[in-house]
Structure 1
Amino acid sequence: MTARTARADETCQSPYMAKITGEEEFVYVWTLGQEGVGDGMDKIVTVDVRTNSPTFGKVIDSDSVGGRGEAHHGGFTDDRKTFWAAGLADSKIYIFDISTDPANPKVIKTISDFVEKSGGVTGPHGAYALPGRMLIPGLSNRNGDGRTALVEYSNDGQYITTHWMPTAASPRGAAVENVADGYGYDARVLPRKNVMLTSSFTGQDNYMRPFGELIKDPEALKKFGQTMVLWDFHARQPKVVFNVPGAPLEIRWAWGVQNNYAFTSTALTSKLWLVYEDHDGAWKAEAVADIGDPASAPVPVDISLSADDSTLFADTFADGVTHVFDVSDPHHPKQIYERKIGKQVNMVSQSWDGKRLYYTSSLLSRWDKPGEDGEQFLRAYGWNGKELTSRFAIDFTREGLGRPHMMAFGSTKLYSD
């Protein structure tokens, strides 16, 4: 079976991972604790999305981790038996069992020595499934600046190795287009071409600083990533450091067997970028479209590419809008639709069949908007190829849950390639 056989899994998942068959049954929301809201702790919130369930669109379980460490991203192991959820501030990683009872995740292990084991990496940014192991991009280091690394663990939570990002002082054999800043964010693999892409954000000194204060500091604004790195995946060897200014964030590889390209968006310059292999086998990066009006600084954040590689959803945090692009010609994307999701919006998760999308609101605890503009929600929509229609919405503040960030799909029905 190929990855295309799965009919409902989230489109951004690792190609090495067991996939869902049929529609997703649960959505797991990795949620930032918020002082004065519920227990104030980071938690996994489980939402029932089984269409005929009496609790459809409702929270059916909530599992707190006993602390507040800036919950951010996470990911499943390749066998999909556990979900790893990371904290940017405390650098802890919580491993949840989601196979014993997919409706009721439970913490079975906490990795508290990530910084020590990795050699000084901080801010674990999610987890990406590789065969028998997890790849964890870091965002920072003990000094709080942006230099960071990729860290590998076994599926049972044992540290394996650290791969530091290339810098101008230590390019590690990579060709450098302009600068090599050593920053990190996302990491994604295209196995059939033996390539991995990484992107770059900023260090802990910036991402744990209040946004209103940060944007008034010219020196701080210079300390954002402006690179993407193409790696020889099997060797874990950086090959090319592309110049991609403006903090490139999420990476989404195309799924088509002839489509050797990936998209990313830049948070500070509001651009959609394409990284692709040309006819001569050389890899290149180029800006291919604006996302919203760059002059208004809408802050593009998460993106989602459809399983047929034809449609891309791009969220802009500042105005709360999701933008839909026709990317059937990846070099010339065209916006075909947009909708305001909320006063702010961050993550978007799309089902494999393209019929359902889920949105969450929180970016970072100190970057979310203040007061009523900082509404916190999970909102679900149907997509018919032309417009979004509401399915359900959950107000996380009213429910006493906190700030919803990253989502992942759960099910009792899986297959492995």
Structure 2
Amino acid sequence: MKTPTNCQSHIVKISLAAAIGALILTLGARVSRADETCSSPYLARIDGQEEFVYVWTLGVEGMGDGADKLVTVDVKPGSPTYGKVVSSSSVEGRNEAHHGGFTDDRRQLWLAGLESSRVFIFDVHSDPAKPKLTKTIDNFAETTGGAVGPHGAYALPGRVLIPCLSNAKDKGGKTALVEYGNDGNYITTHWLPTKEDARGASGAEVADGYGYDARVLPRKNALLTSSFTGWNNYTMDFGKLTADPEAMKHFGSTMVMWDFHARQPKKVFQVPGAPLEIRWAWGPNHNYAFTATALTSKLWLVYADDRGEWQAKEVAPIGEAKGGVLPVDISISADDKTLFVDCFGDGKCRVFDISDPQKPKQIYEKQIGKQVNMVSQSWDGKRLYFTSSLLARWDKQGADNEQFLRGYAWDGKELKPAFDLDFTALKLGRPHHMLFGSTKIGANRTTIASN
């Protein structure tokens, strides 16, 4: 879809924001702040330690009200309600609650439903302990030109970027990136490159048009996207899916490097096995990102070579189990020395030394549960939080279907339990994505650039 003319001025502003933002990031690196290490570089930071963990939770029929909900957990040290649920706000129905993200000023939290394509917007500024639903986008497919399966929301100056997983036409994997303003109004859609329409990108011969995550490295004008699978697959029972050879052919095997300012795809990389989460390094001279492939259990590195050209290569295996361990989420430490890798298949978190990004080495592993999905790490690297649910129809069955939020302390050598919340016993549902909240938010780091 061609970018509307009125969007060009916004992109110019973001180009300026990226340039100034890079300087702000460099200067701000000396300031002691806590936050998630996977957050957008355009996001206003928490001053001090996180006070709340927001958990976007899938509803379960017959459990509590059965609806998806945003659960708020107190994680303030010394608080009488530390490690306890302090509020819960339900939305309409079950939407396959998946990922979310803040607006750049951190006043709103946008939460997406993979199955319904609804996006729920919460006010987390007025009372961070009790987020309030203020708006629901329920015409996503119609408004965006057919994109469905919004994966989450990624903060850009004055807007959010929503990577999608599918399309309304055939509900396969071909999909798009969508932009909305912080006011909740649609801006534009950018379709992923395909063999039939590479949109000027090199590597067109492997382009599949699939999407999943989207992350920006402002100083290099780089937007990187990854790929998963479409609506037809992620709404299918996991056992049925894996027994269907045709369905298993329909998983993403690419990543795409974009010109961020122009929203122009530049190069398609072949990365077999469904590369999922993207984590850019934070160091001012560290021009690389990691991802993990779910179906092949490999760590991949996307990096700028000596000529400044972007390349992608497999750099390490994840686990040794036959058939793989289904790595899902990853978290990079703020000093770029450590990578935490959650493996849904065996419920373990594996920790890699990535001091040499070309040669990661596993240094530790911890059994988190029978299944584990998401991991969120504090900026100081001392606290990690884990949740259990992958997708409603993909979670394990019976006694293996543990549903939890678990907090751990990390001393650089070992993960030690801090608290454990059983979401089934609490009749909350299946906890998925986590985000940090606080009453103490620093200035928006791109305020100057985006005015």
Q: Answer whether TM exceeds 0.5 for this pair.
A: yes
Match of 2:411 in 1: 384
Residue of structure 2 aligned with 1:279, choices 303, 306, 318: 306
Go from structure 1 to structure 2 and tell me whether the alpha carbon gap of 1:115 and 1:253 turns closer, same or farther (over 3 Å shift). Answer: same
Note if 1:69 corresponds to 2:69. no
Runs of 4+, deviation exceeding 4 Å: none
Residue of structure 2 aligned with 1:15, choices 31, 34, 41: 41
Offset at residue 66 of structure 1 (A): 2.0
Separation in 2, partners of 1:231, 1:209: 31
Note if 1:55 corresponds to 2:77. no
Match of 2:173 in 1: 146
Q: Which amino acid aligns with 1:378?
A: L
Note if 1:103 corresponds to 2:149. no
User: Where does structure 1 lack aligned partners over 5 or more consecutive residues?
Assistant: none
Note if 1:45 corresponds to 2:71. yes
Which range moves more in the overlay, 31-40 or 301-310?
31-40
Q: Which amino acid aligns with 2:78?
A: N
Match of 1:313 in 2: 340
| Local SS of the residue matching 1:249 | coil
| Local SS of the residue matching 2:277 | strand
Separation in 2, partners of 1:293, 1:152: 40
Offset at residue 6 of structure 1 (A): 4.5
Match of 1:413 in 2: 440
Q: Which amino acid aligns with 1:90?
A: S
Q: For residues 183-235 of structure 1, what are the alpha-carbon distances to aligned partners after superposition, in whole Å with 9 as ceiling and x for unaligned? A: 00000000000010000000000000000110011111110000000000000
Offset at residue 296 of structure 1 (A): 3.4
Q: For residues 137-176 of structure 1, what are the alpha-carbon distances to aligned partners after superposition, in whole Å with 9 as ceiling and x for unaligned? A: 0100111100000000000100000000000000000001
Q: Which amino acid aligns with 1:279?
A: D
Match of 1:195 in 2: 222
Go from structure 1 to structure 2 and tell me whether the alpha carbon gap of 1:186 and 1:6 turns closer, same or farther (over 3 Å shift). Answer: farther
Match of 1:240 in 2: 267
Offset at residue 37 of structure 1 (A): 1.1
Match of 1:258 in 2: 285
Separation in 2, partners of 1:296, 1:225: 18
Could you say what the CA RMSD is over the residues aligned between the two structures, in angstroms? 0.8
Pairing 1:393-412 to 2, within 5 Å after superposition: 393-412=420-439
8 Å contact 1:178–1:243 — kept in the other structure? no
8 Å contact 1:31–1:42 — kept in the other structure? yes
Note if 1:205 corresponds to 2:226. no
User: Where does structure 2 lack aligned partners over 5 or more consecutive residues?
Assistant: 1-23, 446-451
Which range moves more in the overlay, 177-186 or 308-317?
177-186
Match of 2:6 in 1: none
Pairing 1:123-138 to 2, within 5 Å after superposition: 123-138=149-164
- The structure where strand makes up a greater share of residues is 1
Separation in 2, partners of 1:66, 1:147: 28
Identity over aligned pairs, percent: 68
Match of 1:231 in 2: 258
TM-score of the aligned structures, taking structure 2 as reference length: 0.92
Separation in 2, partners of 1:349, 1:178: 36
| Local SS of the residue matching 2:127 | coil
Match of 1:333 in 2: 360
| Local SS of the residue matching 1:246 | coil
Separation in 2, partners of 1:399, 1:226: 38
- The structure where helix makes up a greater share of residues is 2
| Local SS of the residue matching 2:424 | coil
Note if 1:290 corresponds to 2:317. yes
Q: For residues 328-382 of structure 1, what are the alpha-carbon distances to aligned partners after superposition, in whole Å with 9 as ceiling and x for unaligned? A: 0000000000000000000000000000000000000000001110110000000
Offset at residue 177 of structure 1 (A): 6.5
Offset at residue 7 of structure 1 (A): 2.5
8 Å contact 1:177–1:243 — kept in the other structure? no
Q: Which amino acid aligns with 2:115?
A: A
Separation in 2, partners of 1:152, 1:25: 29
Q: Which amino acid aligns with 1:250?
A: E
TM-score of the aligned structures, taking structure 1 as reference length: 0.99
Q: For residues 368-415 of structure 1, what are the alpha-carbon distances to aligned partners after superposition, in whole Å with 9 as ceiling and x for unaligned? A: 001110110000000000000000000000000000000000001111
| Local SS of the residue matching 1:175 | coil
Offset at residue 318 of structure 1 (A): 1.0
| Local SS of the residue matching 1:115 | helix
Separation in 1, partners of 2:354, 2:241: 34
Q: For residues 101-154 of structure 1, what are the alpha-carbon distances to aligned partners after superposition, in whole Å with 9 as ceiling and x for unaligned? A: 000000000000110010001100000000000000010011110000000000
Q: Which amino acid aligns with 1:80?
A: R
Q: For residues 16-68 of structure 1, what are the alpha-carbon distances to aligned partners after superposition, in whole Å with 9 as ceiling and x for unaligned? A: 01000111000000000011111110000000000111000000000000211
Separation in 2, partners of 1:398, 1:230: 43
